[in-house]
Chain A
Amino acid sequence: MARARGTDGSLLASLPWTLLALAFALLPHVPYLPVWITAALLGCAIWRYSIEVRRKPVPPTLLRAALALGCFLGVLYTYSTVSGVGPGSALLAIMAALKLLETRQRRDQFVLLFIAIFLVMSSLLREQYLWSLPYLVIGVILIMTAWLKTAADDAEPLRRSLGTGSRLVMYAAPLAVAMWIFFPRIATPFWAVPIDTGTAITGLSDTISPGDISKLSKSDAVAFRVNFEGRVPEPKDRYWRGLVLHRFDGRTWAGIPEPRIASGALKNIETRGAPVSYEVMLEPTRQHWVFALDIPYHWELENTFLGPQHQLARVQPIDQRTAYRAVSYPDYRIDLELHPYRRNWYLELPEGRNARTAELARSMRAAAASDERFIAAVLTKFNEEEYHYTLEPPPLGSDPVDRFLFETRRGFCEHYASAFAVMMRAAGIPARVVIGYQGGELNPMGNYMIVRQADAHAWTEVWLQGEGWRRVDPTAAVAPERVDAGRTGAMFDGSAAAWGLGAPSRLLHNLVLTWDAMNAKWNEWILGYGPENQERFMAWLGMDDPDWRRMLLTLVAIVTALTMLISLVLMLRYRPPRKDRAAILYGRFIRRSGLKPATGESPQAFASRVQGETALPAATVRSITDAYLDARYGPPDPGVLHRLESHIAAL
Chain B
Amino acid sequence: MSSTRWPFPSRLLPGINAAVSRRVRLWARRRQGADGPVTELRSRRIYILPTGVGLVYALMTFAMLLGSMNYNNNLSFVLTFILIGIGFVAMHQCQRNLVGLEVSFAGTEPVFAGQSVQFRIAVANRSKSPRHRIRLYLDDLQSDIKDLEPGDSGIFTLPVTAERRGRVTLERFGIRTLFPFELFRSWAWLHMYPKGIVYPRPAENAPPPPATQTALGHRQHDARGEEDFAGLRKFHSGDSPRNVAWKAYARTDQLLSKQYAGADMSSQWFDFDAIPVEDPERRLSILTRWIIDADRTREDYGLRLPGRSFPPAHGEAHRRKCLEALALFGLEDADG
Contact check, B90 vs A140: say whether CB atoms are below 8 A apart.
no
How many chain A residues sit at the interface, stated as a range, is 35 or more
Contact check, A151 vs B179: say whether CB atoms are below 8 A apart.
yes
Assuming the A-B contacts A156-B147, A179-B85, A183-B81, are A563 and B72 also in contact, with contact meaning beta carbons closer than 8 angstroms in the complex? no
Contact check, A153 vs B86: say whether CB atoms are below 8 A apart.
no
- In the bound assembly, the distance between CA atoms of A544 and B97 in angstroms comes to 42
Give residues 78-107 of B contacting A (CB, 8 Å): 78-86, 88-90, 92-93, 96-97, 99-100
- In the bound assembly, the distance between CA atoms of A172 and B181 in angstroms comes to 14
A365 nearest CB across to chain B (Å): 53
Which of A113-121, A332-340, A452-460, A588-596 is the contact stretch? A113-121
Q: Is A31 an interface residue (CB 8 A)?
A: no
Q: Is A326 an interface residue (CB 8 A)?
A: no
Task: Please give, as numbers and ranges, the residues of chain A lying within 8 Å of B76 by CB-CB distance.
Answer: 121, 124-125
Chain A, residues 132-144, CB within 8 Å of chain B (1/0): the string is 1100110010001
Task: Please give, as numbers and ranges, the residues of chain A lying within 8 Å of B77 by CB-CB distance.
Answer: 180, 183
Contact check, B182 vs A151: say whether CB atoms are below 8 A apart.
yes
Contact check, B128 vs A180: say whether CB atoms are below 8 A apart.
no
Q: Is B56 an interface residue (CB 8 A)?
A: yes
Task: Please give, as numbers and ranges, the residues of chain B lying within 8 Å of A190 by CB-CB distance.
Answer: 66, 69-70
- In the bound assembly, the distance between CA atoms of A177 and B71 in angstroms comes to 19
- In the bound assembly, the distance between CA atoms of A191 and B60 in angstroms comes to 19
Task: Please give, as numbers and ranges, the residues of chain A lying within 8 Å of B71 by CB-CB distance.
Answer: 125, 189, 193, 195, 320
- In the bound assembly, the distance between CA atoms of A575 and B56 in angstroms comes to 32
- In the complex, which residue of chain B has the Cβ closest to the Cβ of A106? B1
Q: Is A526 an interface residue (CB 8 A)?
A: yes
A313 nearest CB across to chain B (Å): 20
- In the bound assembly, the distance between CA atoms of A133 and B64 in angstroms comes to 17
Task: Please give, as numbers and ranges, the residues of chain A lying within 8 Å of B24 by CB-CB distance.
Answer: none
- In the complex, which residue of chain A has the Cβ closest to the Cβ of B56? A114
Q: Is B145 an interface residue (CB 8 A)?
A: yes
Q: Is A577 an interface residue (CB 8 A)?
A: yes
Contact check, B127 vs A576: say whether CB atoms are below 8 A apart.
yes
Q: Is A496 an interface residue (CB 8 A)?
A: no
Contact check, A191 vs B70: say whether CB atoms are below 8 A apart.
yes
A304 nearest CB across to chain B (Å): 17
Task: Please give, as numbers and ranges, the residues of chain B lying within 8 Å of A173 by CB-CB distance.
Answer: 82, 85
Assuming the A-B contacts A125-B73, A571-B96, are A120 and B89 also in contact, with contact meaning beta carbons closer than 8 angstroms in the complex? no
- In the bound assembly, the distance between CA atoms of A548 and B1 in angstroms comes to 43
Task: Please give, as numbers and ranges, the residues of chain A lying within 8 Å of B2 by CB-CB distance.
Answer: 105, 107
- In the bound assembly, the distance between CA atoms of A320 and B74 in angstroms comes to 11
Task: Please give, as numbers and ranges, the residues of chain B lying within 8 Å of A124 by CB-CB distance.
Answer: 73, 75-76, 79
A57 nearest CB across to chain B (Å): 20
- In the bound assembly, the distance between CA atoms of A574 and B57 in angstroms comes to 27
Task: Please give, as numbers and ranges, the residues of chain B lying within 8 Å of A7 by CB-CB distance.
Answer: none
A42 nearest CB across to chain B (Å): 24
- In the bound assembly, the distance between CA atoms of A253 and B81 in angstroms comes to 48
- In the bound assembly, the distance between CA atoms of A152 and B134 in angstroms comes to 11
Contact check, B100 vs A121: say whether CB atoms are below 8 A apart.
no
Q: Is B129 an interface residue (CB 8 A)?
A: yes
Contact check, A176 vs B70: say whether CB atoms are below 8 A apart.
no
Contact check, A563 vs B92: say whether CB atoms are below 8 A apart.
yes
Task: Please give, as numbers and ranges, the residues of chain B lying within 8 Å of A566 by CB-CB distance.
Answer: 88-89, 92
B295 nearest CB across to chain A (Å): 34
- In the bound assembly, the distance between CA atoms of A132 and B74 in angstroms comes to 11
- In the bound assembly, the distance between CA atoms of A97 and B162 in angstroms comes to 49
Contact check, A128 vs B69: say whether CB atoms are below 8 A apart.
no
B214 nearest CB across to chain A (Å): 46
- In the complex, which residue of chain A has the Cβ closest to the Cβ of B82? A176
Contact check, B82 vs A574: say whether CB atoms are below 8 A apart.
no
Chain A, residues 146-171, CB within 8 Å of chain B (1/0): the string is 01100111001000000010001101
Q: Is B282 an interface residue (CB 8 A)?
A: no
Q: Is B53 an interface residue (CB 8 A)?
A: yes
- In the bound assembly, the distance between CA atoms of A110 and B74 in angstroms comes to 26
- In the bound assembly, the distance between CA atoms of A107 and B133 in angstroms comes to 15
Contact check, A168 vs B89: say whether CB atoms are below 8 A apart.
yes
Per DSSP, chain A at the interface is helix
- In the bound assembly, the distance between CA atoms of A291 and B83 in angstroms comes to 38
Q: Is B191 an interface residue (CB 8 A)?
A: no
- In the complex, which residue of chain B has the Cβ closest to the Cβ of A530? B72
B232 nearest CB across to chain A (Å): 36
- In the complex, which residue of chain A has the Cβ closest to the Cβ of B150? A577
Q: Is A316 an interface residue (CB 8 A)?
A: no
Contact check, B100 vs A574: say whether CB atoms are below 8 A apart.
yes
Task: Please give, as numbers and ranges, the residues of chain B lying within 8 Å of A369 by CB-CB distance.
Answer: none
Task: Please give, as numbers and ranges, the residues of chain B lying within 8 Å of A185 by CB-CB distance.
Answer: 69, 72
Task: Please give, as numbers and ranges, the residues of chain A lying within 8 Å of B92 by CB-CB distance.
Answer: 563, 566-567, 570
B13 nearest CB across to chain A (Å): 21
Task: Please give, as numbers and ranges, the residues of chain A lying within 8 Å of B178 by CB-CB distance.
Answer: 151
Assuming the A-B contacts A110-B53, A168-B93, are A140 and B180 also in contact, with contact meaning beta carbons closer than 8 angstroms in the complex? no
Contact check, A320 vs B72: say whether CB atoms are below 8 A apart.
yes
- In the complex, which residue of chain B has the Cβ closest to the Cβ of A190? B70
Q: Is B67 an interface residue (CB 8 A)?
A: yes
A258 nearest CB across to chain B (Å): 22
Give residues 320-344 of A contacting B (CB, 8 Å): 320
Contact check, A114 vs B60: say whether CB atoms are below 8 A apart.
yes
- In the complex, which residue of chain A has the Cβ closest to the Cβ of B96? A570
- In the complex, which residue of chain A has the Cβ closest to the Cβ of B65? A183
Q: Is B132 an interface residue (CB 8 A)?
A: yes
Task: Please give, as numbers and ranges, the residues of chain B lying within 8 Å of A191 by CB-CB distance.
Answer: 70
Contact check, A128 vs B84: say whether CB atoms are below 8 A apart.
no
Task: Please give, as numbers and ranges, the residues of chain A lying within 8 Å of B90 by CB-CB distance.
Answer: 168
Q: Which 8 A-B pairs have the closest CB atoms?
A: A172-B85, A175-B85, A176-B81, A179-B81, A570-B96, A176-B82, A124-B75, A176-B85
Residues of A participating in the B interface, judged by any CB pair closer than 8 Å: 105-107, 110, 114, 117-118, 120-121, 124-125, 128, 132-133, 136-137, 140, 144, 147-148, 151-153, 156, 164, 168-169, 171-177, 179-180, 183, 185-186, 189-191, 193, 195, 320, 526-530, 559, 563, 566-567, 570-571, 573-577
Residues of B participating in the A interface, judged by any CB pair closer than 8 Å: 1-2, 53, 56-57, 60, 64, 66-67, 69-86, 88-90, 92-93, 96-97, 99-100, 126-129, 132-133, 145, 147, 150-151, 178-182
Sampled A-B contacts (13; CB under 8 Å): A114-B56, A121-B76, A128-B74, A168-B89, A172-B85, A183-B81, A189-B72, A193-B71, A526-B75, A528-B74, A574-B129, A576-B100, A577-B128
Taking A117-B60, A120-B79, A573-B96 as known contacts, 9 extra A-B pairs with beta carbons closer than 8 A to each other, sorted by chain A number, are A114-B56, A148-B181, A152-B179, A171-B89, A175-B89, A183-B81, A575-B100, A577-B150, A577-B151
